[in-house]
Amino acid sequence: MNITVTKPFVPPFGEFQTYLQGVWEREWFTNNGPLVNELELKLKEKLDVDHLLFLSNGTIALQIAIRALDLQGEIITTPFSYVATTSSIVWERCKPVMVDIDVDTLNIDPSKIEQAITPKTTAILATHVFGNPCDVEAIELVAKKYGLSVIYDAAHAFGTRYKERSLLAYGDIATCSFHATKLFHTIEGGAVTTSNPEILKNMAMMRNFGHSSLTEFGGVGVNGKNSEVHAAMGLTNLKYLEDILAVRKELCDYYKSSLTDLPIVFQKIAPDTEYNNAYFPVIFESEAMLLHVIEALNLNNVYPRRYFYPSLSELPYVHDQSSPISEDISRRILCLPLYHTLSREEVDMICRLVKRSIRY
């Protein structure tokens, strides 16, 4: 049996089936159905955010956020994230300007943002890497000083709270992914959150082809909606969120206690944070050591992932934007398996293999 880097949380089928029965009876599969509305309301309540829209995925969430803020020119962003963060900027015909990361938190280094600002800069798009909060206060100060919009790619941040607020409550817009690999998922899905009702209205129009009414269009839009079936999975999974978070914390704590006294480094989590333990990243001394560990794990049917590799500053469509810290970390970081049904015995085996590989 393979141990992969992650597996989706699978709720009791009967509970999911109950929601599906209602979908079948109503014959209402998409187009802002009752389950989509129910999920949006429950997510707003759970996350304590002002406004939330359920979307088809986390990438369209980023694209809609950029469009809703009417961003053009240059967007300051992080080189250490999943490729969708950068590709969404490029897709919307803006230029990503890479600002290197903090070596401890792995988030964009706010002390380096100001020197990257030019007259063409319109926004900052920062990622809460692995669900670890960015320095939101420092970023807000810079953004206000220069009149910049702030978008947070919070794809990994569902369930993380910073200073007793959901991470999705920060920025002009925050985006989230509900892909099956995430700790809370709707199979495929995503969301945008905002505290600004006008931005919400604009994004709601954009996700539905630009419709402002059945017969009128307020602007250009896309098909960013999601279905009743995906909402049904979200409503089923949401009931188990506290258990999901508790199990992940227990597994991550167990990993750390088992990997002490090794030449490895863990990501530093921001203070005042209730962390969601979205991933379990380990930073090795060298890429050679990392590759040796991967080889040993793969030989035993364990498949970690090099999140995030390569550094986005090395993408072929991002030119001449060296980010030495991100590029170095990306070569040495590995996410070990982490999911709800992973057992302590399996963690023990993974840790034994890691130790053996390092000490070989």
Query: Please, which residues have CB within 8 angstroms of residue 114's CB and are 6 or more apart in sequence?
Result: 142, 145, 146
191, 287: one domain = no
Looking at the fold, whether 222 and 121 belong to one and the same domain comes out as yes
Residues 6+ apart with CB under 8 A from 67: 92, 206, 220
Within a domain: residue 1?
no
Number of domains in the chain: 2
| 248, 209: one domain | no
Q: Are residues 154 and 250 in the same domain?
A: no
By residue range, what is the domain housing residue 111? 13-238
301 within 8 A of 2, measured Cβ to Cβ: yes
User: From the DSSP assignment, how many helices (H) and strands (E) are in the chain?
Assistant: 11, 15
Note the pLDDT of residue 214: 83
Burial class of residue 152, CB neighbours in 10 A (0-12, 13-18, 19+): buried
In this prediction, residue 360 carries a pLDDT of: 59
Same domain, 28 and 149: yes
| CATH at residue 253 | 3.90.1150.10
- Among 169, 127, 162, residue whose Cα is nearest residue 273: 162
Residues 225 and 148 in one domain: yes
Residue 274 pLDDT: 98
Residue 314 corresponds to which tokens in the numbers above?
């090395």
Divide the 360 residues of the chain into consecutive groups of 10 and give the mean pLDDT of each group.
96 98 97 97 97 98 98 98 98 98 98 98 98 98 98 98 97 98 98 98 94 87 96 98 98 97 96 98 98 98 97 94 97 98 98 91
Sheet with 161-162: strands ordered across: 165-166, 161-162, 273-274
Tokens of 300: 């035993």
